[in-house]
Structure 1
Amino acid sequence: MNRLKNSYTTLAVVALSALISLPLDATRRSSVDAGVLASEIHTTTQDFTTLEVDLAAPAPAPAPKTSKHKRARVKSSGKHRRSHSGYASRRRSGGSGYTYERMEVAESTPSLIKSVVDHGQELLGLRYRTSGVAKWPLDCSGFVSYIYSLEGIKIPRSSGGLSVYADRISDPQPGDLLFFKGRNRGAGRVGHVALVISNEDGNIKMIHSSNSRGIVIESLKDSQYFSSRYLGAGRLPEVKEHWQDIPTTPTSLE
């Protein structure tokens, strides 16, 4: 750009020098041509200056592409939510007698028992081998002792120990314990324990930690496996005062 400007400047100087060397008449005749030439040189110089300024100006920034990305993020978030709901649907019982869905506790249930049941329902679906929420495995007895420990109540951590520690009752209510034989029904000793959530006219719903399904809610009468292994119910001494109107009987487990 600078080279072109210098060339036109040199051309103008040469033209003026030629005019000086001409006779007076020729100088008069050529003065008009020289003026025209000088005007054209000036105009061209301005054009190059304008062009130089235009080239030096920064290019405008491209318009931001926002709408496409926003739609993509919303779609992704929705997919993430659907994946969680799909997982929850796979965890439902499908009419097989157990569920991973929370249940309402009767309003007449003492507040302490409600809190214990709530602690248990917050763990629905967890596998006891990989729970990572307690200092000990959340097997059947570990699960029961853990949710009671959250209310400051320390109880044995084995199903056999709990069966000895609890008082025998005939009509279990929320917070009470149910005891079962283990896999070997012929052994006759306690091998499993569950926590009662509700008892409506003998239809007992219990929450417990299962080896194959994790922590679930199950109907006792709808489960052939557990109803055939049922030994009896017990109430913890720390809970007895909260159920004064529910009589306990000194029956022993079979």
Structure 2
Amino acid sequence: MKITKKTIIAAVAATSLTIGAIPAYAATPAKTVKAPTAQQQKDSKVVTYAKSLIGTPYKKDGTTKKGFDASGYVQHVYAKFNVQVPRTIKDIYKPGKNVKKPQQGDLVFFDTKNKKPREANFVGIYIGNDEFIAVTVNKGVSTQSLKADYWKKAFLGAQKAPTTPIKKAPVKKK
């Protein structure tokens, strides 16, 4: 029997695993983990900030931490990251790029009035695991499940997270 360096290393590793000198996970090859993209990192920050506002009450036409309506909330969250979002749900829905599988930070749209033709009248921010965060009249800023019958029936679709930077007003020179 020919003993090679590879055979000796395998025998030492097996013996070490058996006696517990090396944890079992150390003997398995490491998985390659891709670093999150800049967009994914931004999305995570968006979701973290969006969640920090849970409990903020609903306020008709609200756009501040004192109270939000659905579009005012989305607009406020993205403004924190210098991203411009239109004020109304219809205007937010128009230019978006539809996606089949939303990612964290993408927008989810609903027709809660069930009119024909269907049109977007409610928006939330997708946070993963079939959940989104939005402002409802009864609960204010709260998490919701896309699997709930109410939201399943009203669901129109998802769109990529907005990315248009907020334009700063030019500084007037005196």
Q: Which residue of 2 aligns with 1:127?
A: 57
Q: Is the 8 A contact 1:197 1:207 kept in 2?
A: yes
Larger radius of gyration: 1
CA–CA distance in 1 between the matches of 2:66 and 2:146?
26
Matched, 1:209 2:139: no
Structure 2, unaligned runs of 5 or more: 1-34, 165-174
Matched, 1:154 2:84: yes
Aligned partner (choices 112, 116, 137) of residue 46 of structure 2: 116
Letter in 1 for 2:72: G
Calculate the TM-score normalised by the size of structure 2: 0.65
Map of 1:41-56 to 2, 5 A cutoff? none
Q: Which residue of 1 aligns with 2:24?
A: none
CA–CA distance in 1 between the matches of 2:50 and 2:162?
19
SS where residue 151 of structure 2 aligns?
helix
Matched, 1:185 2:114: yes
Runs of 4+ with >2 A deviation: none
Aligned partner (choices 159, 163, 168) of residue 238 of structure 1: 163
Q: Is the 8 A contact 2:75 2:87 kept in 1?
A: yes
| Highest RCO, 1 vs 2 (Cα 8 Å, sep ≥ 6) | 2
CA–CA distance in 1 between the matches of 2:49 and 2:131?
16
Structure 1, unaligned runs of 5 or more: 1-106, 240-254
Larger % of helix: which?
1
Q: Deviations over 1:87-125 (max 9, x none)?
A: xxxxxxxxxxxxxxxxxxxx9572211111111111101
Q: Is the 8 A contact 1:165 1:236 kept in 2?
A: no
Aligned partner (choices 65, 81, 105) of residue 175 of structure 1: 105
Closer/same/farther in 2, CA of residues 135 and 219 from structure 1, 3 Å limit: closer
Letter in 2 for 1:163: Y
Provide the identity percentage. 28
